[in-house]
Structure 1
Amino acid sequence: MKINTTRFGELEVEKKDIITFKDGLLGFEKLTQFFIVDPGDQTLILWIQSVDDASTAFPIIEPKIFKPDYSVKLLPAELTSLSLENLTDASIYTILTIPQTVTEMSANLKAPIVINNKTKIARQIVLQDSKLEVRCQMYTDLKRYIVAYTSDDSVRTNVELTKQDTVTDTENSAPTGANQELNSEV
């Protein structure tokens, strides 16, 4: 099916890729159908685009990328509402806030989006953990991950480097693509 979007133009989306939020997203309860858009850049930021409203899309990211120790603990009723027995069959995303000053980017760790990968049923769930932040400053951690990931070919190609092949001066290598924007802000 073809879906018009304000941000990405007209996109071809398979029915199997439509994600259903029975309760919508917080503040957008009337919008219940979304799909994920990968803009294909190196920022690792995806977008969750509304099917119902061409102008509604939210930047999202997997929190494990910038916060490896992040974990989601759901109540049994929350797992049931997603038709999940455990989180192994789910994808977890956090919604980002990206202000004009990109270095002030933050992630909502308190209310992640949980998607059942098999059924495509999803919910934004407010977690009970009081230590989780609604505006977790994560720009520096994301930048560090992107620079490390794009600087190390063995990560992308699953090839182990010998000592003489290892690049030791990643600070002097020129950034490429979307990294230029992230690198230029710090």
Structure 2
Amino acid sequence: MKIETKYAGEMEVNEKNIITFQQGIPSFEDEKEFILLPFSEEPSPFYILQSVQTAGLAFVVMTPFSFFPDYELKLSDSTVEHLEIEQEEEVATFVVLTLKETLEESTANLRGPIIINGSKQKGKQIVLNESDYHTKHPLVTVAVSGQKGDE
């Protein structure tokens, strides 16, 4: 199946890889089908969550654990049921990025992760209301003060 993408133009994708968001994504409720594409040809924690319907709708996402190894979330029973999750291994977690000119200025939305059941190709963006996470966590923290560089 051919789709038009925001960043790579027209591409051939396998229909089996289409992820269905039954309720859409907040603010994009009419967009139900997305595909996860690599951000680049090099191995990377970054991906593009591309709408199958709308070429101009694509989110840069990443696995949060690369930058935030202590990131934790608990899925509600309704989310587990909605995504038909049977085993923890089926679950992939992504967060949406807001890219700025530099990585240091870019942020991750840790409050609204995207959960995907890779076995069933079902996805959902959830909101972690009872957490200390924010919608704009810096990707790169300032280096610890007192470190000396090469002299």
> Structure 1 residues 87, 110: CA separation in 2 closer, same or farther (over 3 Å shift)?
farther
Q: Which residue of 1 aligns with 2:145?
A: none
Q: Which residue of 2 aligns with 1:99?
A: 100
**C-alpha displacement at 1:6, in angstroms?**
3.0
Q: Which residue of 1 aligns with 2:25?
A: 25
- How many angstroms apart in 2 are the aligned matches of 1:30 and 1:81? 18
- How many angstroms apart in 2 are the aligned matches of 1:139 and 1:26? 26
- How many angstroms apart in 2 are the aligned matches of 1:35 and 1:58? 11
Misfit runs of 4+, over 6 Å = none
Q: Does 1:2 align with 2:2?
A: yes
Q: Which residue of 1 aligns with 2:134?
A: 133
**C-alpha displacement at 1:128, in angstroms?**
3.0
Task: State how many pairs are aligned.
Answer: 143
- How many angstroms apart in 2 are the aligned matches of 1:88 and 1:105? 29
Aligned counterparts, 1:104-119, within 5 A: 104-119=105-120
Structure 2 alignment gaps of length 5 or more: 143-148
**C-alpha displacement at 1:137, in angstroms?**
0.5
Q: 1:35-87, CA deviations, whole angstroms, 9 ceiling, x for partnerless residues?
A: 01102235531100000100110000000111111112011111101101353
Normalised by the length of structure 1, the TM-score is 0.71
Q: Does 1:72 align with 2:73?
A: yes
> Structure 1 residues 81, 3: CA separation in 2 closer, same or farther (over 3 Å shift)?
same
Q: Please, what is the CA RMSD of the aligned residues?
A: 1.9
Structure 1 alignment gaps of length 5 or more: 142-170, 173-186
Of the structure 1 ranges 38-47 and 104-113, higher mean CA displacement relative to structure 2 is found in 38-47
Normalised by the length of structure 2, the TM-score is 0.87
* 1:55 counterpart SS class: coil
**Which of the two has higher C-alpha Rg?**
1
